[in-house]
Amino acid sequence: MSGRVLRLTAAQATVRYLAAQRVEGADGQAVPYFAGCWAIFGHGNVAGLGEALQCSQDALPTYRAHNEQAMAHAAIAFAKQARRRRAMVCTTSIGPGATNMVTAAALAHVNRLPVLFLPGDVYASRRPDPVLQQIEDFGDGTVSANDCFRPVSRYFDRLTRPEQILDALPKAMTVLTDPAACGPVTLAFCQDVQAEAWDYPEDFFAPRLWRFRRPPADPYDLADLVVRIRAARRPLIIAGGGVLYAGAEALLADLAAATGVPVAETQAGKGALPWDHPSNLGAVGVTGTGVANAAAAEADLVIGIGTRLQDFTTGSRALFRGAGRTLVQVNVSAHDAVKQGAVGVVGDAAAVLAALAPLLAGWRVPADWARALAAPALAWDQAWEAAMAAPGGPGGDNVLPTDAQVLGALWRQAAEDAVVVCAAGGLPGELHKLWRVRRPGGYHVEYGYSCMGYEIAGGLGVKMAEPERDVHVVVGDGSYLMMNSEIATAAMLGLKLTITVLDNRGYGCINRLQRATGGAPFNNLLADTRHAALPAIDFAAHAASLGATARKVADIAALEAALAEARSGTGVQVIVIDTDPAVSTAAGGAWWDVAVPEVSDRAAVRQARAAYDEKTKDQR
Ligand SMILES: Cc1ncc(C[n+]2csc(CCOP(=O)(O)OP(=O)(O)O)c2C)c(N)n1
Ligand SMILES: [Mg+2]
């Protein structure tokens, strides 16, 4: 302890502390944990945090966005692409700027991704109350708009005194870097406190290296798992995001190769194995491949590794069904390890896989299990070819390409190490089923919150995390219209993104869901809405006005040519293509629990309800 103090404002001290936090980079060298701070200023942060950031641009670069939710999406995507090893900060004013970030906080919370939110807050002194944008609670003087962050933060604090950061910031770092507790941290920073000075101990700002703990499993649990695996006739591993966050892909690939245990992947875990690894069955669940879901339906031992078993993974708990089956959950979080009657093995994915390898040496999965999966594997390969192939010859004026055909073109044109980015609409399901991930990190789909508007801002964050890789955003017209502002930010920062907009004139996937649940087409496709005139939105002109190089293409052949051209282009490249809203890939997939009305005047609803009642009988 030097015993020296520095007189700084709470905001200056916060920025100085954040800039001093380090982690080990890829080459073993220490790098800053926070890659930068996204900021949109208002009266709640411009004078305090704004001044502090401006003075620290070498240590903690500031980026200006156009929408607080979008900038938070970029920050979260950065952390996801960095496998949670680095993160970004987001600061806003009080009021609408702050609450604009609440949706993004929920997104980070669901996906267990680190991000530090510093929304401004109302005066701690309460001198100017009610300050501009302050909500007034008639029954509780301590409530502010930022209380909305509480249920969507892994750690929440309100800074009402400058010295509170001495505890709050290290606690924030602990949560951000903890493998089990990882998620968004909100430090609501009172506007007056940001500007208040304090004598901070100089030691507080010393560079600090954070290590990511990799807790091993309890030896008893591990031994029990080995006994179960050795006794299994039809084991199946389900790889979740935890495999990627633990950096356990090579360990998983080796174990799968050595034992022959097949592996299926969740949305967050997709890419854990390269698509052509002999054990990789591809996606599992509602948007799963035929072969992975056949394996899931037959397996006697399902081993989830780093998955939170969301309903898309389990087919709403109807996919892994039947007596005499065991579910084991290997997870760093005890909360996830006990889900759905699982036998829990609490530990880090990499630590558990490394420990399993010698204990399973010499053991291989029974040969009849691989034989049983050979036919569905072949059938799935044929379904893949049929879905992804370019349409043969001119389809005539009325035939629009499917989402899968667009993805086929993109897959053929994308560079070996490209990253595909998506979040909501029909595309994540098609990507999960059909995209063949060539390189680790090549698949970035946010499907925990499946938040429309994540795609473009997320692509920006991905590009910042891995600037050397080509980033392909695929986005529906609905998501594009919800949030496209960060095209301008990417253009401003000179970052290259290739964005393919699939215009099917509305919320295609929800229209399909509506019809599947017996509903009349209503309020999803633009044509089915209350309107005076049908919008004919020129997405290319819109994107161009934001600074992109944009064009519209007529068919798959033109799309491939445009993608090839975009590959050598710079800046934001936008390609728009009209697609068929009615078609998605029928092969593969599993049931999804979407409750159908129990009574209705519509015969189609009554029919759908009868089918629904049948399917719910399969739920475990
Ligand atoms: C913020 C948000 N609002 C609503 C939804 C519900 N939702 C999921 S997909 C979807 C439609 C997406 O439309 P589009 O982007 O055009 O994709 P498409 O379904 O046509 O493939 C909607 C409304 C959501 N996931 N996120
Ligand atoms: Mg659409």
Pocket probe mutation, ligand 1, options 111, 479, 537, 584, max atoms within 8 Å of Cβ? 479
pLDDT in tens, 433-447: 999 999 999 999 999
Compute the distance between CA of residue 482 and CA of residue 500 in angstroms, rounded to an integer: 15
> Ligand 1: which residue has its CA nearest to atom 3?
452
How much is the mean pLDDT over the chain? Answer: 97
H/E run at residue 256? helix 249-259
Tell me if residue 552 falls in helix, strand or coil.
strand
Residues in a beta bridge with 285: none
Across-strand partners of 419?
Answer: 471
H or E segment and range at residue 357: helix 349-359
Both tokens of 586, joined, read 């029928």
Map tokens 């495999």 to a residue: 243
| Ligand 2: centre distance to CA 525 (Å) | 8
Ligand 1 centre and the CA of 268: distance in Å? Answer: 19
Regarding the beta carbon of 452 and ligand 1, being less than 6 Å apart is answered yes
Cβ proximity of 414 and 387 under 8 Å: no
Between CA 74 and CA 620 the distance in angstroms is 38
CA 70 to CA 475: how far, in whole Å? 15
pLDDT in tens, 98-129: 999 999 999 999 999 999 999 999 999 999 99
Substitution site in 452, 484, 513 for ligand 1 pocket (most atoms within 8 Å of beta carbon): 452
For 129-169, the pLDDT digits (tens) are: 999 999 999 999 999 999 999 999 999 999 999 999 999 99
Percent of the chain topping pLDDT 90: 96
Q: Which helix (H) or strand (E) holds 540?
A: helix 539-545
Out of 484, 510, 511, give the residue to mutate to test ligand 1, the one with the largest number of ligand atoms within 8 Å of its CB.
Answer: 510
| Confidence band, pLDDT 50/70/90 cuts, at residue 26 | confident
Which ligand approaches the C-alpha of residue 110 most closely?
A: 1
3-state helix, strand, coil in the chain (%, to 5): 40, 20, 40
> Angle 293-298-304 (CA atoms, 0-180°, nearest 5)?
65
Closest ligand (CA of 449): 1
Q: pLDDT band at residue 393, thresholds of 50, 70 and 90?
A: low
Q: Whose CA is nearest to atom 12 of ligand 1?
A: 425
Distance CA 21, CA 169 (A): 10
CB of 513 within 6 A of ligand 1: the answer is no
Burial class (CB in 10 A: 0-12, 13-18, 19+), 341: exposed
Beta bridge partners of 501: 475, 576
* Centroid of ligand 2 to alpha carbon of 453 (angstroms): 13
pLDDT of residue 14: 98
Is there an atom of ligand 1 within 6 Å of 426 CB?
A: yes
The runs of H, that is alpha helices, within 232-274 are: 241-245, 249-259
